[in-house]
Structure 1
Amino acid sequence: MREPHSTPLRRRVLVAIVGIAAPAVALFAIPLALSVERLYHDETAGALGRDATWIAAAIPDHVMSGPPASLSLPRGVPSGLRVGVYTTKGDLLFGEGPRRSDIAVHSRDGRVHEEVEDGYMAVSAPIPSDEVRGGVVRVAAPYDQISERVHESWLLMAGLAVIVIGLAAAFALRQSRRLAAPLEHLTRAAQGLGAGDFSIRAPRSDVREADVAGLALESTARRLGEVLDRERAFSADVSHQLRTRLTGMLLGLESALARPGAQHEDAIRTALARGEQLQTVIEDLVRLTRESDAERCLDVRALLQEIRGAWYGGLAAQGRSLALSLPDELPPVAASPAALRQILQVLLDNAVAHGAGEITVDVADLGNGVAIEVADQGAGVPEGADVFARRSGDAEGHGIGLALARSLAEAEGGRLVLRRAAPPVFSLLLPTPGPD
């Protein structure tokens, strides 16, 4: 059998979970990366601003009017910084830095300014002075240091993102196996059921829905196996019954032909009667396979009257009688007329072959069902004997007719039991139609 062209469940679960995790990580990581870059930028600018402020405060206010040789920076300036003193026009007076700085010009408004200038992160602060001509302190640090810290943080975040996506992929693989394995087991079990294995058992998992489906599949397989066994047994029983009647008819004809001076006319009449019975059996069996549920509702009184008329003459010829007891009112029975006719045929045949005296058929209304009891005055059934067990033709007992009758009764939703062993009483219980 070719597999359908569709994406396997494992791959679909993996793609779905990873497909959700990756964008979620990206949506979280990109704003965080920008925030980290801004954080490092502001942190460096703040540190440089503090340095520029205290250096500007430490420089004397008369420095702008002193001789160039006396100009110097205060002690304690952190290493790695480029510190220069500028005029408010942006010209370098002393220290380190470009000869002209635009950020120094901006600080003549008396506030601290920051700007990336010539590859440096620069911060300028005005020198407090009572003089009209003041100065500006410019403190700068290489911008590469900030970029390096930002890139290191981004690499760390990228590593964490890869780890998160990897964990999501691992979780997706585990979940896909957890979800797909029970379905794969169910698929193999269904294939085994299709191949005729009715003893399948779906392994249990931690997926409740799959376990419920597995239990339903096992129950279905078990019921199908029981139905198939019952159908096989029914077919074997029917074949035996048909062969038995046909064999009896043929033996009667052969016996008439083998006896000199035999009355062939009587043998032919007997063979015709048996042939008509065989035809009735075949028609009933065919009707069983074609009847709908609406047709499985019969009038027990009319059917029993018909059966008594068919059996009266044959029993009278053997010196036996058939008594029928019916209540005044009897509900219809939810069963097939063909099935009930065959069951009663088996019970009457059994009473004629193995019983003695009068045969009685008593019918009783049980409210939700009807009981039909067939009894005779024979010796009955030996203690411990199972009359419903299937026996071969050579074994002693009642053959397989009673087994067939019980199968038909169970197929109609009823029961056939031996209520009393001696004298024998067989009780057939059939349900009445429900309120629907």
Structure 2
Amino acid sequence: MAGALTSGAGDKGVAAALAMAGPGTVVHTPGIAPSPGGRAGAALIDRAAVAPEPTVESVDGGMVRLVPVTVGEKHSVVEAFIPASELTKDTARDWWLLLGLAVVLVGGAVFVVDRLARGAVSSARNLVEAALAVGDGDLGVRITPSGPRELAEAGYAFNRMADRLVTSRTDERELVADLSHRLRTPLTALRLDAEALDPDDTQIIDLTADEVDRRRGIRRIRQAIGTLEDEVNHLINTTRQAVAAQVAAPEDGLCDASEVVRERMMFWSALAGDQDRQYRVVGANLRIPVPVARAELAAALDAVLGNVFRYTPQGTAFEVGLSRRDGWVALRVDDAGPGIADPEQALRRGQSNQGSTGLGLDIARRVAQNTGGSVSLDRAAMGGASVVMLLADADATPKIPSRFGLVGRGRPAREKDPVRRRWQRGRE
């Protein structure tokens, strides 16, 4: 209606616009009595005529919207009446829809939060149970990290901690076993010296009292050595049974392999002389540094030589050789004994068919592997077993182990098993 008046429509146009506007639309002229059918009073109409914007006012039975229209010098006010029934139509339905939507949103939010909280609580509970299990001594417990980011990170940290605990306890057990095995070297010397003493039989009638006491002392010495050796074996076996997995950490240090060989042979030469064993040392006259702690290399050499004295008859000859080539140092111990029937089993830690703990060769293997090398078993030229420790040369950059075979042979050998690096001699 305001558009029709503004465009200057005639009486017919204004009448048509009123007809289209429908009931409740009235045109008032300010300063004159309100037109019939209108709901707004004269004061309200006069105030709306000078207002810059349309006004909305409440009246009896509803609300009116008053729009001022100025065409030339003529001022008009268009009134549109909206009954109260139209204003509140479908309001209850809208409120119920809003209420239902609010209930759905709140319920969904509660469900989602409950799911998230349940996952977090479950992850925290699993972490607590795993920590309690580790505290009770079960180091095999691991958890599957889940839940919020922080709890998942805590789960990964817990698994790493458990792995470190297993590794630390394994290293500790292995160290105890290896240190116990080192005691067998002096025990072997004591046992051999004790066996070289006079018989301990005291049943001979014509023995003097002093001789009986002396033989009883020899018997006590032998019994004490046997008891001590049994205790050491029991300690080694008990420690091995408690180890969950073998984790070897490389040793730091540097020593002269030739010096270690010469020093240890001074010890073993006395026993060799007592047992009429012929021996020879080859290649230990020059300095050959290796990245192994001195005590570790000495323990490995003692373990191999101890096997020679323990498992070969008295009078069996042996040879210790040392050489270097292509960034590697080979320490070889040969003997003229019966040899080793199953080399692969002999290299397994804790495996022995001789009634021992089976750790001697494994000590040598670990020392060699800590430098990137290996230990191999083969038939020696002397007829018995040949044990070769391949160590990295500290003065050279280690390369791929060359196939030069064992020391003192000069015969190339092919690597039959790359995993075990068994150095063959090229002979039957």
TM-score by shorter chain over 0.5: yes
**Contact 1:86-1:94 within 8 A present in 2 as well:** no
Q: Which residue of 2 aligns with 1:78?
A: 22
**Contact 1:369-1:432 within 8 A present in 2 as well:** yes
Structure 1 CA distance for aligned equivalents of residues 317 and 106 of structure 2: 89
Q: Which residue of 1 aligns with 2:320?
A: 361
Aligned length: 354
Structure 2 CA distance for aligned equivalents of residues 137 and 213 of structure 1: 73
2:385 to 424, 427, 430: 424
Structure 1 CA distance for aligned equivalents of residues 269 and 259 of structure 2: 15
Structure 1 CA distance for aligned equivalents of residues 263 and 284 of structure 2: 17
Cα deviations by residue, 1:18-46 (Å, 9 ceiling, x for unpaired): xxxxxxxxxxxxxxxxxxxxxxxxxxxxx
Q: Which residue of 2 aligns with 1:121?
A: 64
**Contact 1:355-1:379 within 8 A present in 2 as well:** yes
**Contact 1:387-1:398 within 8 A present in 2 as well:** no
Cα deviations by residue, 1:347-369 (Å, 9 ceiling, x for unpaired): 22221232253211111224444
Q: CA deviation at 1:225?
A: 3.8
The structure with higher relative contact order (CA 8 Å, sep 6+) is 1
Cα deviations by residue, 1:277-328 (Å, 9 ceiling, x for unpaired): x9xxx9xxxxxxxxx9996221211111111112222212221122111266
Give the structure with the larger helix fraction.
1
Percent identity between the aligned chains?
A: 20
Matched, 1:344 2:301: yes
Structure 1 residues 185 and 432, CA, compared in 2 at 3 Å: closer, same or farther? farther
Amino acid at match of 2:80: V
Q: CA deviation at 1:426?
A: 1.5
Structure 1 residues 206 and 52, CA, compared in 2 at 3 Å: closer, same or farther? farther
Q: CA deviation at 1:406?
A: 1.1
Greater CA drift, 117-126 or 201-210: 201-210
Q: CA deviation at 1:345?
A: 2.0
Q: Which residue of 1 aligns with 2:34?
A: 92
Amino acid at match of 2:335: D
Matches within 5 A, 1:4-403: 78-79=22-23, 81=24, 83-84=25-26, 86-89=28-31, 91-104=33-46, 106-107=48-49, 113-118=54-59, 120-124=63-67, 136-142=77-83, 145-146=86-87, 170-171=111-112, 174=115, 185=126, 188-189=129-130, 191-203=132-144, 221=162, 224-225=165-166, 228-229=169-170, 231-232=172-173, 235=176, 239=180, 242=183, 245=187, 248=191, 258=202, 260=207, 261=211, 264=214, 296-326=253-283, 329-356=286-313, 357-383=316-342, 386-388=345-347, 397=354, 399-400=356-357, 402-403=358-359
Structure 2 CA distance for aligned equivalents of residues 142 and 90 of structure 1: 25
Structure 1 residues 340 and 57, CA, compared in 2 at 3 Å: closer, same or farther? same
Structure 1 residues 147 and 333, CA, compared in 2 at 3 Å: closer, same or farther? farther
Secondary structure, counterpart of 1:94 in structure 2:
coil
Question: CA RMSD of the aligned region, Å?
Answer: 5.6
Structure 1 CA distance for aligned equivalents of residues 337 and 53 of structure 2: 127
Cα deviations by residue, 1:86-117 (Å, 9 ceiling, x for unpaired): 442153242232442433454389x9843325
Greater CA drift, 298-307 or 97-106: 97-106
Greater CA drift, 172-181 or 326-335: 172-181
Amino acid at match of 1:373: R
Q: Which residue of 2 aligns with 1:410?
A: 366
Amino acid at match of 2:49: S
Unaligned 5+ segments in structure 2 are 233-248, 398-428
Secondary structure, counterpart of 2:291 in structure 1:
coil
Q: TM-score, normalised by structure 1?
A: 0.58
Q: Which residue of 2 aligns with 1:68?
A: none
Amino acid at match of 2:42: R
Amino acid at match of 1:326: G
Structure 1 CA distance for aligned equivalents of residues 393 and 121 of structure 2: 47
Secondary structure, counterpart of 2:173 in structure 1:
helix
Amino acid at match of 1:141: I
Structure 1 CA distance for aligned equivalents of residues 295 and 26 of structure 2: 118
**Contact 2:350-2:359 within 8 A present in 1 as well:** no
Q: TM-score, normalised by structure 2?
A: 0.59
